[in-house]
Structures are given as structure tokens and as C-alpha cells.
Amino acid sequence: MTRTKISFDDTAVAFGDKSDKALQLMYFLFCTMNYPLITKVGIWFTSNALKFKLPVKGLIKKTLFFQFCGGESLEGCRTTIEKLKQSNIKAILDYSAEGEHTEEGFETNKLEMIRSLEFAGSMDNIPITVMKLTAFIDFHLLVKAQSGLVFSDEEKEEYIRFEQRVEAICAKAVEHGKCLYIDAEESWIQKAIDNVVYAMMRKFNKDKAYIFNTYQMYKKSALGDMINAHHELRSMNCHLGAKLVRGAYMEKERERAEEKGYEDPIQPNKMACDRDYNLALDYCLDHIDSVSVCAGTHNEDSSIYLSELIDTKGLDRDDSRVYFAQLYGMSDNISYNLAKEGFNVAKYVPYGSVEKVMPYLMRRAEENTAIAGQTSREFLLVKKELKRRKG
């Protein structure tokens, strides 16, 4: 059977489910994000307006929230998820909680994750949910755990409660047959996170990969870390779940390395990052019998590379062990064109109150401004489609 090669240039496919009004909003947002100074001022104003309870929530909901989030509640996401389904795109349910500091908050977040998995269990178009472990434990305790510092008795109890929360959520994911992606965070807590995630993999990934760790390939060590984890898990007859991203903390990582006087953990250049990303894809597909992989990327070259790798290896395009993933509201030219050609594609669909998702929305605005060419590419694609519709 001849398989069609992928092209990401078809904007009629990319924006086929968008109304003219929705496209015009995208045009406005990405045009604005083309200007870093305006974006920085907008972020500062929005953060302070919410802090001082100025009436801006309505404006946020109609702009950034509408573009990048699925809804304020689980039920509020239903329309978004069903709409994605019409284009053969699945949803990764993302309760956008992180950086919690209280026991009450940790428990609230655990219960919401349980609810999200139960909700996912009621819908066949949500094969995956995602979480950050800093939603369930104070950041400083992860730092302390990674540093090997001695816990007080109270801290030991807190850490045990954290591990129990994570295990309860993982068990619920497996109960409903859903995959659970655990996001990467800063390098000075990542090994502590890894230890917990690998413990969950050893417990739950015996028959297939349910629990996934995230590898930030802009880190020099990421490729080796992933391979070592696979070797160890395979020796125990367990599966590795690997979500591959380029990463989200580069500036913070470099600043801390310089401040603390240790070697910069970040790749020397983009070429090295791209090389390791594609090598990781190679490795995962070479070991597909014991590895499941999600390519979480907005990079067109890596997306084409993986699509061709799937075809070259003779895998079904909808093999459940291989997923492409992009953020809701971004890179629709990649998502919708891949889905049209029969590949597994999922969109991250964040949900939560405006206040809860603001850190997420701020990062989307900052990342679109910071990543060279990202906003311009989105803007030009929307502009092209608006022009095509006008005839």
C-alpha cells in the first residue's frame, strides 16, 4: 500500500474546524505575540490586574483562555474534546495545577486528578491525562530529596503522603486503561521526580506502558537517561513510557548553573538538541516492543522524521504505542495534517479556573515570543488561511 507523505502546508486542513471569527482572534493574538515588549507588558498588566481583582477575567476568557484552554471544568471541556474527535484528534486532559504549598491544596489536586481520570474513563477520545508532581508536594522537599539531605520526622511523613498520592493517581489511570504522562520540571528536582516515576513504572508498566516519564532533550543527559531507564526497566520485564520534548526551562537552567558554578546542563546549540531528539525517536522505535513513545513537539522536521520512521518500520500509522502531541491552540498545521493521514495525534487540553491556569497561559505567551520564529510561523499560517477563505 502506498502511503502519502506528510505536508504541513495545507491550511484548509489545519484550520478546517475554525470559524472565521476564531481565525481572526488567532490572527490578533499571534500578531500581538510577535512583539516581545507588548507581550511582556501584557503579562505584567494581566498578572497584576488579577492580583488586585480588577475586572479582566472576562477579557482573558475571550482571548488567551479561549485559544489555549479547553474549559474551566471537566464538563466544560466536553465540547472541545468532541470537536477534536471530529478531526480524528484525541485529547490529553491536563488539569493545570502546579507549585502548590499546602496539604489541603495537595489533596484537592489529587482528588481533581482522580476525577479527571474518571471523566476520561467515560470518553473514548481521552486516552491520556497529564500531571506535574509539584501539584502534590512542596518544591523545597523535592530539592531536599534530590540533594540527599536528611528529612525531619514531619518531612518524612509528608513525603510518604506525596508518594501515596502519586500511587493512587497512577492506580486510577490503570484502572480506567488510560496513560498518564508525568511532566518534567527543573533539573534540581528532576532526579527526585524520576525516582518516583520509575517506581510507578515498575509497579504498573508490566503488561504495557501506562505511566510515562518526560525527557527534555535540550539537556545533555536526556538521551542517556532515557536509554538507561529502558535498560533497567526491561531487565525487570517492565515497559518504558517516554514522552519526548525539547524543554521548557532553558533560561532558568543556565542562570542557575552560572550562579551555582556547575556545568551548564543544556545542549550547546539547537543542532545538538535536534540531533538527540531524533536519536531518541530512533531508539524508541527500534525497541517498540518494550517502549511506548509520545513525540511532544511543535517541530515540523521531527514530526516528518517520526512519520517517515513509522512507515519505514512498517508500523501501522495508528499503532497505540506511538503518539504525536501538540498543545491546544498551537501548531494546528502539524496536528490536523498528521491526523488526516491516519497517525495518532493528541492535543494537550488544559482546564481549570482562569486563576488556576494563568501560569500556564503566561508560559504560552512567553514561549511563543521567545522561540525563534514560532509566533511568526503561527501568524503567517493563519494569515494564509484567511486569505484563502477570502478567495
* pLDDT of 372: 45
pLDDT tens profile 218-253: 999 999 999 999 999 999 999 999 999 998 788 889
Please answer whether residues 282 and 302 qualify as being in contact, where contact means their C-beta atoms are separated by less than 8 angstroms: no
* pLDDT of 356: 80
The rounded percent of the chain whose pLDDT value lies above 70 is: 96
pLDDT (average), residues 165-191: 97
In 183-337 the beta strands, taken as DSSP E runs, fall at 211-216, 240-245, 291-296, 322-327
| Residue 370 counted as domain residue | no
Report the distance separating Cα 187 and Cα 176, nearest Å: 31
Q: Quick check: 365 pLDDT over 50?
A: yes
Q: Quick check: 43 pLDDT over 80?
A: no
| Residue 26 counted as domain residue | no
| Residue 380 counted as domain residue | no
pLDDT tens profile 128-155: 999 999 999 999 999 999 999 999 999 9
Provide the CATH number for the domain around residue 282.
Answer: 3.20.20.220
Least confident of 70-84, 88-102, 191-205: 88-102
| Residue 309 counted as domain residue | yes
| Residue 50 counted as domain residue | no
32 burial (CB, 10 Å; 0-12 / 13-18 / 19+) is middle
371 versus 321: the higher-pLDDT residue is 321
pLDDT (average), residues 255-270: 94
User: String of b and e for 11-28 (b: at least 16 CB within 10 Å)?
Assistant: bebbbeebeeeebebbbe
| Residue 174 counted as domain residue | yes
Please state, rounded to an integer, the average pLDDT across all residues of the chain: 92
Q: Element (H or E) spanning 92, and its range?
A: strand 90-95
| Residue 368 counted as domain residue | no
* CA-wise closest residue to 70 among 134, 11, 15, 129: 129
Domain boundaries, position 224: 70-353
Domain count across the chain:
1
* CA-wise closest residue to 322 among 276, 282, 272, 279: 282
